[in-house]
Amino acid sequence: VLDVFNLFDRNLYYSNTFYFAIILEYIFLKVLGTSWTLRQQFGTIALDNKEVILMGCCNKSLTRKSLLYKTGVEYGDYTINHVQGCSHGCKYPCYASMLAKRFGTVKTYEEWICPVIVSNTIELLNKELPKLKDKIKSVHLCFTTDPFMYGYEDICNLSIDVIKLINSYNLPCTALTKGILPIELADLSKDNSYGITLISLNEEFRKKMEPGSAPYLDRINSLKKLHDKGCKTWVSIEPY
């Protein structure tokens, strides 16, 4: 057990369930003599090159004074970023993490990859949507985080609730992810559109450059399932 905790080289926050799962995997692997590696920051274990995802949970939260804002990005009108940070941990230059460091929101890469939920998200939307609904053409999720962060069920569930609430004002949403698009999105407004980001189809490259993100084939399959259900779907290839 001590060997497991010695692998953690930074002060991260995980649920007891996460640690228990890690310890169990460690014991079984020691007995079986199987090679293993632990990607501690993402709640992911790789067993003989097969990834096993332990669902993460945001144990920290923050509050904000506002959420919806106008964006100048070509495929966005208004946007919302209801999570701070991103566990996907992309190793190429990420403007979101660089801006967060520049303005002091986070100080390190390690802090950036530990996502923090905005706990008053729904409360703020209930205040802002009635005021802005006539100005908004669409709302994008998200530009400085990922709405369907891989392995984080609480973030995914909150994002679905956000989309439902925005749709209740007859406003469409767009969503872009390096995670898995939930099939539940197919039950929401058909005016919404959902996308995945791809920079390669090489899994070894993904593990090196986007270590906490969903495998490429899993992303594509989740997109196809929504497409087959009649949803508008798209792919963003960036950075290229």
Looking at the chain, which runs of residues are DSSP E strands? 36-39, 44-47, 50-53, 61-62, 69-70, 78-79, 83-84, 116-118, 139-141, 173-177, 193-197, 232-236
Q: What is the band of 74 on the pLDDT scale with cuts at 50, 70, 90? A: confident
Report pLDDT for 7.
39
DSSP string, 172-201: -EEEEESS---GGGGGS-TT-EEEEE-S-S
Is 113 a residue whose pLDDT tops 80? yes
Is 185 a residue whose pLDDT tops 70? yes
Q: Is 185 exposed, middle or buried (0-12, 13-18, 19+ CB in 10 A)?
A: buried
CA distance 60 to 119: 9
Q: What is the band of 19 on the pLDDT scale with cuts at 50, 70, 90? A: low
Q: Is 202 exposed, middle or buried (0-12, 13-18, 19+ CB in 10 A)?
A: exposed
Is 1 a residue whose pLDDT tops 50? no
pTM, two decimals, is 0.77
Lookup: tokens for 201: 């189809």
User: Which of 28-37, 133-142, 144-153 is predicted with the least confidence, judged by mean pLDDT?
Assistant: 28-37
Pairwise pLDDT comparison (238 vs 206), residue with the higher score: 206
pLDDT, average across residues 103-114: 93
Report pLDDT for 10.
33
Is 238 a residue whose pLDDT tops 90? no
Given a contact cutoff of 8 angstroms between Cβ atoms, the answer to whether 175 and 148 are in contact is yes
Lookup: tokens for 193: 């559109």
**Mean pLDDT for the chain overall:** 83
Given a contact cutoff of 8 angstroms between Cβ atoms, the answer to whether 184 and 158 are in contact is no
Given a contact cutoff of 8 angstroms between Cβ atoms, the answer to whether 156 and 149 are in contact is yes
Report pLDDT for 24.
56
Is 6 a residue whose pLDDT tops 50? no
Lookup: tokens for 62: 């923050």
Report pLDDT for 35.
36
